Chains A and B, each alone.
Chain A
Amino acid sequence: MKRIKLVLCCCFLSSSLVGLDAGHAAPCAASDIGGPARSHEDVIELSLQKLADIEYEPGDDIDEQVLVYDGLTIKITGYMRTGTVEGAKWFDLTNDSCGCGTSKLQHFVRVTLEDDTTRFQPNELSLTGTFSVGEKEDEDGFVESIYRLTIKKLDD
């Protein structure tokens, strides 16, 4: 853990110094800690199982095995959680339509739609977008999500 923190920190500092964005910083972190080979343009396939495979409670450090994907373009498949509000700008992607047991923050990805709104569909979704990892809190200090994906729109 110490090692990744050091590497990420160094990469962040170096990218800040040269004015790069987080997306450019991430490949540096990945290669240094033995994560998946990738560059800024690569699309990396990631599974919800892999993301769920960490031990995490709000306030914990997030495991390096998922931190390495922060800022990268990923492709991920899953299901829209039942109860997704129609016409919203976001929804939660879970490993099955049931979403059973997905109240754990490591068990879902919050998907933000840049140019679209939600319409519930029970079929499997395959999404590609920019992934981010880290605690995001609401106004009451509750962690809303640790995994987020920003995509343009949902395919019909």
Chain B
Amino acid sequence: MARLCNALLALPLLLICAGAQDPSQAAQALAQGAAEPDETAKITKYLDLAIRGRISVRPQAAKRLVKMGDAARARIQEACGENGAQLAELGPYLVEVLADFGDSELRGYLWQGLRDLDFPWRGPAARSLGQAPLEAEVAQLLALNNDRLDQVRLAAIESLDRMPPAALEALQTQSREALLRLVHRDPSDRVRRAAALRLDLEGEHGYLLWLVEDLRRTDTYFRLPLGEQARFAANRALKKRLGQDFGFRAEDPPTSESNAQAIAQIQAAVLARVKGPAPQVPDALRAAQKTEGDLIGLELRSCRVGEFFLRWNRADVLYIGTGKGLAVPLIPGTVERLDGALKALVASLGKERYWGEVGCDLEQLRLVNDAGSVDAFLISKGQASVPDLRPAALDRAVALLVASIPAEEHSELVREVTRALEVLGGEF
């Protein structure tokens, strides 16, 4: 409607400019003359919405720009700056659709961003490139399965389904090795599921048992229902592959009579597809169950350095990762002392619970209070570093937590967590 109004308002001027003598000439002038400024205004508006609009609108605005084609592409190229130096300013939603413009220069910028470990939108860049992989890029895309960000590894695996078959065939050995490594060892359940689903497509149907195992999960990270999320994701994927869900309801406990029955039927349906011996789900990947007694949590999510989920349990165990995770025994009394010290520190924060601004870097300290509910202290920020974002009391708190990780056996983890904390909230 707005476009029509603009066009009508512009009509007298256009008639004068075009020297139109008859209605058809006028209409032609209107069509040619009115479209351009209107389109330019739309591109400007959609660019702004894709970068700074409401979160729900950003991806839609980005897709509209793709539909607008060349004119939008030219503006985006301009916005990328010389040699793509300003690519990060486009934000994750535009970066994610950049390859859809089918422009080799923009594609080059995406690769450039992916190679820069400080580029904040490496996940969206990988997803964009993986949407329609070029034959010449197949090896590079596959190599991303080793990336430190699970979003990037996931994009690499999912792009296999869309790779030109001939190019992929030449890399079959590498691809298979990568899939087997990821399905057995990747810390992210999303990546493991994607690898299992790809192996299923390649005829190794037994790896669907990894998803069947996910149907049995009940684990949580404090109140985050990670097990339930895994049940939903696994059920959705299995239903597509098996053609039905056998009545499994992901929102219900896996131990309910109907769900237990459904899981047995799903497992039987998977095994019926397997020729020869089925692979065994490793013990470490068996369905994680909800643990009791978690007192302190440190959740770190960074679009540059990855994600860490740590839980200190009152039984003096540190759990690293989600799902079953890695259980690290601590010296008796450690967690009780930590809990007391942290509670004293956060008391100085008063009612304040949040520092920073919206962004893809997030640090969250969770403490179970005396009433049994969880108090969360959250820091978040965008791509720019913010010195001293974390208040002094939380600096001290995270320092105590890092110091409690047995450094000799887990030096790599200590290094990575320290780096993530520095990226998120500054030195501590």
Contacts and interface: CB of A to CB of B under 8 A. Distances in A.
Interface of A: 47, 49-50, 52-53, 58, 77, 81-83, 92, 95-100, 102-105, 108, 120-124, 138, 140, 142-145
**Top 9 A-B residue pairs of the complex, sorted by shortest distance between their CB atoms:** A83-B358, A122-B378, A122-B376, A142-B57, A142-B60, A53-B232, A49-B232, A124-B223, A98-B362
B56 A145 contact: yes
Contacts of B49: 140, 142
Nearest to B375: A123
B224 interface: yes
Contact of B251 (A50, A140, A145): A50
A53 B250 contact: yes
Given A98-B380, A142-B49, A144-B57, 14 more contacts: A47-B251, A52-B232, A92-B56, A97-B378, A98-B301, A103-B56, A103-B93, A120-B353, A123-B376, A124-B374, A140-B45, A142-B56, A142-B61, A144-B54
B389 to A, nearest CB: 13
Nearest to A96: B224
A95 B229 contact: yes
Interface of B: 45, 49, 54-61, 93, 223-225, 228-229, 232, 236, 250-251, 301, 353-354, 357-360, 362, 364, 373-378, 380
A72 to B, nearest CB: 16
A103 to B, nearest CB: 5
A52 B55 CA distance: 16
B358 A82 contact: yes
B111 to A, nearest CB: 23
A144 B376 CA distance: 28
B360 A49 contact: no
A105 B45 CA distance: 21
A49 B251 contact: yes
Contacts of B357: 83
A97 B364 contact: yes
Given A97-B364, A123-B353, A102 B55 contact: yes
Contact of B55 (A49, A77, A96, A103): A103
B92 to A, nearest CB: 8
Nearest to A102: B55
Interface centre among A83, A99, A103, A143 (most CB of B within 10 A): A103
A13 B12 CA distance: 48
Contacts of B54: 144
Nearest to B221: A96
A96 B322 CA distance: 14
Contacts of B362: 82, 97-98, 100
B59 A97 contact: no
A124 B353 CA distance: 13
10 contacts: A47-B225, A47-B228, A49-B232, A53-B236, A82-B354, A82-B378, A97-B364, A120-B353, A120-B354, A144-B57
Given A49-B232, A82-B378, A144 B56 contact: yes
A108 B49 CA distance: 19
A98 B59 CA distance: 18
Contact of B60 (A52, A83, A124, A143): A143
Given A49-B250, A96-B224, A103 B354 contact: no
Contacts of A145: 56
B353 A103 contact: no
Given A49-B228, A142-B61, A122 B55 contact: no
Contacts of B380: 82, 98
A124 B54 CA distance: 22
A52 B225 CA distance: 13
A120 B351 CA distance: 11
Contacts of A95: 224-225, 229
A77 to B, nearest CB: 8
Nearest to B303: A100
Contacts of A123: 353, 373-376
B411 to A, nearest CB: 28
Given A103-B55, A122-B353, A122-B376, A49 B225 contact: yes
A53 B364 CA distance: 26
Contacts of B60: 58, 142-143
Contacts of A97: 362, 364, 376, 378
Nearest to B92: A103
Given A58-B60, A97-B378, A98-B301, A81 B55 contact: yes
Contacts of B232: 49-50, 52-53
A98 B302 CA distance: 10
Contacts of A121: 353-354
Contacts of B378: 82, 97, 122
A49 B229 contact: yes
Nearest to B365: A122
A87 to B, nearest CB: 15
Nearest to A143: B60
B26 to A, nearest CB: 28
Contacts of B360: 100
